[in-house]
C-alpha cells in the first residue's frame, strides 16, 4: 500500500462528544470492541463472580490505604474514596465496565448502580455481581430516572482519565441529576509522572480519538476548575498520587439555588 493510501484526512480520527443520554451505536461498539481486547488478558478476573471473593475486610480510613485493599484474588482495589462515603451509602459508578469494582464494593454499600457505554461489559457485570447491584445503560433514560436525586456517592476508577473536556462536562451535567445535595463525586483524572514513558496522552481540549478509546487526557488543577465552573459542584479537595499517576478530585453536589 502506498504512503498516500494510509494517510488520514485531518480530523478523520475525531469523535464528537455527545451527552450520555444521546450515546450512539458507534460509541457502544467502540467500547464493546475495547472490552473484547481487554478480556483477552483480563477474562479471569473480569468473569470471576462475587462469590469467588468471600472476604469482607474492614475498609481503611484513608482513601490512599483503601486503594491498596485486596480481596485475596486479583488486583488491589485501586479505588480512591472515603470509607464513610461507601459504608451504608447509595453508590453509583460511572463507567462501571464488567462490574469488577461493584462486585467487591457492594458488600459495604446499601445499593450499587453501575452505568456504562458498553452493553457487553454491562451484561458481564450483571452475571458476576450480587443482587444489591443494578446495571443500566447510560442512554437508558427510563431505566435511570428512578435513581435521580437518590445517590449519595458517585465513584469511578479508570474513568475520568479517558474523558476529554467536552465529554467530562456532559458527564458532570448527567451526574448532577443523580446526586443528592451534599453528595460526593470522586473523580480520577490522569496526571502523568514525568519520569514514566507515556503511551497516548492528550490535553483535555483535544477531541476524542475514534481509534484510541483508551487514550488518556491529562488534567491540571486549572483544567479541573475550568471543568467544574458553571456546574452545581464545588471542589472539596484534591490529592495527587505520583505512584498512580492520578489527580484524585472530590466534588460536592451543591444544593439547587
For ligand SAM, the closer of residues 114 and 183 by Cβ is 114
For ligand SAM, the closer of residues 118 and 245 by Cβ is 118
Chain positions contacting ligand SAM, by CB under 6 A: 20, 31, 95-97, 100-101, 116-118, 121, 138, 157-159, 162-163, 167, 171
In the complex, what is the shortest distance from the CB of residue 1 to ligand SAM, in angstroms, rounded to a whole number? 32
In the complex, what is the shortest distance from the CB of residue 180 to ligand SAM, in angstroms, rounded to a whole number? 21
CA 13 to chain centre: 23
Q: Identify whether the C-beta of residue 112 lies closer than 8 Å to the C-beta of residue 91.
A: yes
In the complex, what is the shortest distance from the CB of residue 222 to ligand SAM, in angstroms, rounded to a whole number? 22
Element (H, E) at 134: strand 133-137
79 Cβ partners below 8 Å, 6+ apart?
Answer: 66, 67, 101, 105, 155, 157
For ligand SAM, the closer of residues 43 and 181 by Cβ is 43
5 Cβ partners below 8 Å, 6+ apart?
Answer: none
In the complex, what is the shortest distance from the CB of residue 257 to ligand SAM, in angstroms, rounded to a whole number? 27
Dist. CA 59–CA 155, nearest whole Å: 15
For ligand SAM, the closer of residues 116 and 223 by Cβ is 116
Amino acid at each position: 500500500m502506498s504512503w498516500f493510501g494510509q494517510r488520514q484526512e485531518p480530523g478523520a480520527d475525531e469523535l464528537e462528544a455527545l451527552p450520555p443520554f444521546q450515546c450512539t451505536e458507534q460509541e457502544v461498539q467502540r467500547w464493546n470492541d475495547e472490552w473484547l481486547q481487554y478480556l483477552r488478558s483480563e477474562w479471569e478476573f473480569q468473569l470471576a463472580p462475587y462469590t469467588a471473593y468471600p472476604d469482607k475486610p474492614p475498609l481503611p480510613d484513608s482513601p490512599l490505604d483503601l486503594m491498596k485493599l485486596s480481596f485475596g484474588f486479583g488486583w488491589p482495589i485501586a479505588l480512591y474514596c472515603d470509607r464513610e462515603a461507601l459504608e451504608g451509602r447509595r453508590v453509583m459508578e460511572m463507567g462501571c465496565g464488567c462490574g469488577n469494582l461493584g462486585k467487591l464494593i457492594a458488600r459495604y454499600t446499601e445499593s450499587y448502580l453501575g452505568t456504562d457505554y458498553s452493553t457487553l461489559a454491562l451484561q458481564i457485570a450483571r452475571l458476576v455481581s450480587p443482587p444489591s447491584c443494578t446495571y443500566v445503560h447510560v442512554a437508558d433514560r427510563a431505566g435511570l430516572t428512578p435513581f435521580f436525586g437518590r445517590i449519595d456517592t458517585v465513584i469511578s476508577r479508570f474513568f475520568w482519565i479517558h474523558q476529554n473536556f467536552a465529554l467530562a462536562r456532559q458527564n458532570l451535567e448527567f451526574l448532577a441529576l443523580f446526586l443528592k445535595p451534599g453528595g460526593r463525586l470522586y473523580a480520577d483524572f490522569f496526571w502523568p509522572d514525568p519520569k514514566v514513558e507515556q503511551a497516548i496522552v492528550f490535553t483535555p481540549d483535544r477531541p476524542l480519538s475514534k481509534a484510541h478509546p483508551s487514550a488518556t487526557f491529562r488534567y491540571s488543577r486549572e483544567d479541573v476548575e475550568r471543568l467544574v465552573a458553571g456546574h452545581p459542584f464545588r471542589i472539596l479537595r484534591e490529592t495527587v498520587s505520583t505512584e498512580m499517576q492520578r489527580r484524585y478530585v472530590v466534588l460536592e453536589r451543591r444544593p439547587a439555588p
